[in-house]
Structure formats: C-alpha cells, structure tokens
Amino acid sequence: MEALNKFDSLTWRQYRIGDLFKKLDGKKATKKNVRKYRDQEFSTPVVYCKFGDNGIMYWGRKGEFATHENAISVIYNGAIAAGKVYAQKEPTGILAESYFIAPRSDNRDHDLNLFFSTAMEKVLYPKYSRDFLATWAGKVENDLIFLPTANNGGIDYEFIPPFISGLKKLAIKDVVDFADRRIAATEQVISS
C-alpha cells in the first residue's frame, strides 16, 4: 500500500507510445471460424471492436490464427470502442478492427500491461473514433502517454507492480466490505 501513498509525489513524464511498444503481426481469425460462446473446441479468446469484456467478442480454435500472450490490444475502429485498450493475459487472437502491441523491451508482465493500457486509453479513447481511427502507423505510435519517472530519468518500473498490487488489494477489500455489509443487513432483517 506504500506505492499508493507515493502516487501523488511521483514525477511524471510523457513518452511516445511507439518508442516503448511495437505492433505485433500475425494471421487473424476469420468470421466463419469463430463462435460467440466459449466451449471446449472454441476456447481461444478473439478480440474484435467491442467495448468491455476486454474487447473479446468471439472464441476460436487454438492454432487457427496467431495469438499473443501478455500483450495489449488496441481497438482501432468501432462506434463506441475506437481507442479502447486492453491488457490481454492469456493467448488471445484478433478478428478485425484491432491490433496487438507489446513492449519493445519484451518485458511482458501483465501488471505492467494493465498500467500501460490504462495510461494509453486515457489518451486514445477520447481522441479516436469511427471517423478518426486509432490505427498504429502515423497515429497511435506517435501519441504521448504520461508514465511515472524514476530518478535516472527512465520509467519507474519499481513503482508500477506494487502500485497495481495495492489497487488489487483495495478492490478485494471493497468486495469484502460490501459482503460484510450485506451479511450484517441480512442478519438485521432476520433478527427483526
């Protein structure tokens, strides 16, 4: 939780997305080979132009298209989804209207990707739309995001994992507190 207290005293600097991330390529899934619901055969998540659910709209068969693990998906098109950014932990594919990026450093830590995807979405989602697509070349790669800066002038990678861990702990605490309140309210109703 110390990282949460440190947040307000951090130094932040702008970084160009294309300097930190590279676009990943690979064979995309096809509409005829995906399903709306996950089952044993169709078990690989597939990103499309979806708002929410981590951008996952379909499920495909393993091995029929390229997947990327611990990557970040960027939705470049969609009525309400253009500019949405999602950290994908498990191997995930793309159908269309999206692409994957990954850190140039090949440090594919999911907690780092959660932080980076949030920082990117704060810039990309308000800026891009169906009329101004969030494509990589010449656009998203040149956008600037704010990241915490270490004393050496680089990204403060020491801060990010404990910060994400602290946020997770707060979220769990909120759920526990909510459950405790529900239990107390239920007990009060029962004892009345």
Whether the pLDDT of residue 8 is over 80: the answer is no
Count of residues making up the chain: 192
The values of phi and psi at residue 65, to 5°, are: -155, 165
CATH code at 14? Answer: 3.90.220.20
Number of domains in the chain: 1
Q: How far apart are CA 95 and CA 65, in angstroms?
A: 9
pLDDT digits (tens, 9 = 90+) for 77-103: 999 999 999 999 999 999 999 999 999
How far apart CA 83 and CA 133 sit, in angstroms, is 8
**Domain range spanning residue 120?**
2-191
Q: Cα–Cα distance between 72 and 20 in angstroms, integer?
A: 12
Tens-digit pLDDT profile for residues 172-186: 877 888 888 888 888
**Half-sphere exposure (Cβ direction) of 84: Cα atoms closer than 13 Å:** 22
